[in-house]
A and B are shown apart, each in its own frame.
Chain A
């Protein structure tokens, strides 16, 4: 009788365990799929600027020179828009500097909007001298700011070396090899000459006339219309060229070129390019 009790307990226990196990393993449907692995990545904002060439001005009021440099947006980002601002930070004594997207429109600062795919931007730096100017360095501070808000780049300096030369009060050298290079039509003749160092302008005169037509250096050629001097058909006229600087005035006259306008047009010396 005593030996039946443990046996009974074992049987009951086995049944209970079996029931519990049945509860855990009761079959039920299940099915799975994956939300696929994926990724997002951030871009960056940056730009590069080339080094502008050095400039030379005279130590005189209003003497100007300009140079330029290239901005390249090197950012990465589908929706990135960057505004790059260039500001004149420092200049040598007696020198002022301005910056702009063209040399004809400059100010103390300029901003350009770029994207990673937009073309490079060219900025002009214009340096203006005075009678107290000294040589030195113009420094511009460049910075980028994401539009409308967001990232900002560290400030990047760009420098322009400025050389201030003493004012030249003597006339420039005489242009040489003044020549006719041909006609555009019966009324317009083309002239050329060899360039003169330091010349700011060249002036072509009909000999003896105060009227001239000019070319801004470094150009060393121009076209002249006989109507400027009211020269008639078939009448030979002689011309000269003079170099000019604001502080030194005009050089002496060059060799002469003789021109006859009209249907029988001729010029001498004629040197065709």
Chain B
């Protein structure tokens, strides 16, 4: 048996001894949990209800105008539609815009105005930039936007002017967007 073979046998024996010793030694150990966690998203929604007409000449009688009623000089008629908006999310900011379509009318003296008013708990976080435009830089929770279209046939409309005329407001888009 030459020296090389002897050396190999001795080495293997030593490794075997060392490996047998590992299984029987006690060593320190410790652990901690990574706490349960997750994320959740906010929301940005807008919903609406049916609009209602009102005869502004009759106080104390809400929604007392119908689509079939006919205007005469001196009449002020409003069409009001309510939108419920929700905006939650730590870094949420954006805009709310009513893109009003042009009035289709053959009147000559009819006055027409559109205005939107914010109300509800989140209204203070919503800034009115124009009659139909709003912005927010913080989540506002919930708010109500009331869009009112006002039609006025001036009392000074004389003769037979503007009799049997009609005015149509096409559907207009109310958009709430994150920015």
Q: Which residues of A contact B (CB under 8 A)?
A: 28-45, 76-80, 146, 148-154
Whether A40 pairs with B163 at a CB distance below 8 angstroms is: no
Whether A77 pairs with B179 at a CB distance below 8 angstroms is: no
| Cα(A146)–Cα(B98), bound, Å | 37
In the bound complex, residues from chain A placing their C-beta under 8 Å from that of B94 are: 28-29
Whether A42 pairs with B153 at a CB distance below 8 angstroms is: yes
Closest chain A residue to B98 by CB distance?
Answer: A35
Whether A152 pairs with B159 at a CB distance below 8 angstroms is: yes
Given the known inter-chain contacts A31-B45, A33-B48, A151-B158, please indicate yes or no for A42 contacting B166, CB distance below 8 A.
yes
Closest chain A residue to B169 by CB distance?
Answer: A38
Chain B: minimal CB distance from A73 (Å) = 13
Whether B158 pairs with A32 at a CB distance below 8 angstroms is: no
| Cα(A152)–Cα(B72), bound, Å | 12
Q: Which residues of B contact A (CB under 8 A)?
A: 43-48, 50-51, 53, 55, 57, 65, 67, 69-75, 77, 79, 81, 83, 94, 98, 100, 107, 110, 147, 149, 151, 153, 155-179
In the bound complex, residues from chain B placing their C-beta under 8 Å from that of A149 are: 73-74, 155-156, 158
Whether A31 pairs with B81 at a CB distance below 8 angstroms is: no
| Cα(A87)–Cα(B72), bound, Å | 26
Contact of A30 among B44, B149, B160, B162 (CB under 8 A): B44
Given the known inter-chain contacts A35-B51, A42-B165, please indicate yes or no for A150 contacting B174, CB distance below 8 A.
no
Contact of B158 among A36, A78, A152 (CB under 8 A): A152
Whether A36 pairs with B173 at a CB distance below 8 angstroms is: no
Whether B178 pairs with A37 at a CB distance below 8 angstroms is: no
Given the known inter-chain contacts A33-B46, A78-B55, A78-B65, please indicate yes or no for A42 contacting B174, CB distance below 8 A.
no
| Cα(A39)–Cα(B101), bound, Å | 13
**Most chain B beta carbons < 10 A, residue from A35, A38, A77, A154:** A35
Whether B71 pairs with A31 at a CB distance below 8 angstroms is: no
In the bound complex, residues from chain A placing their C-beta under 8 Å from that of B46 are: 31-33
Whether A43 pairs with B72 at a CB distance below 8 angstroms is: yes
| Cα(A154)–Cα(B73), bound, Å | 17
Whether B50 pairs with A36 at a CB distance below 8 angstroms is: yes
In the bound complex, residues from chain A placing their C-beta under 8 Å from that of B45 are: 31
In the bound complex, residues from chain B placing their C-beta under 8 Å from that of A31 are: 44-46, 175-177
In the bound complex, residues from chain A placing their C-beta under 8 Å from that of B77 are: 40
Contact of A36 among B156, B159, B171, B178 (CB under 8 A): B171
Given the known inter-chain contacts A37-B170, A79-B74, please indicate yes or no for A44 contacting B157, CB distance below 8 A.
no
Whether A29 pairs with B173 at a CB distance below 8 angstroms is: no
Whether A35 pairs with B153 at a CB distance below 8 angstroms is: no
Whether B72 pairs with A151 at a CB distance below 8 angstroms is: yes
| Cα(A77)–Cα(B70), bound, Å | 5
| Cα(A41)–Cα(B168), bound, Å | 9
| Cα(A153)–Cα(B159), bound, Å | 7
In the bound complex, residues from chain B placing their C-beta under 8 Å from that of A42 are: 70-72, 107, 110, 153, 162-166
| Cα(A31)–Cα(B84), bound, Å | 12
Whether B51 pairs with A36 at a CB distance below 8 angstroms is: yes
| Cα(A102)–Cα(B88), bound, Å | 73
Contact of A35 among B53, B174, B176 (CB under 8 A): B174
Whether B169 pairs with A150 at a CB distance below 8 angstroms is: no
| Cα(A32)–Cα(B177), bound, Å | 9
What are 8 A-B contacts with C-beta separation under 8 Å? A30-B176, A31-B45, A31-B175, A33-B47, A35-B147, A36-B171, A42-B162, A79-B55
Whether B169 pairs with A37 at a CB distance below 8 angstroms is: yes
| Cα(A44)–Cα(B153), bound, Å | 13
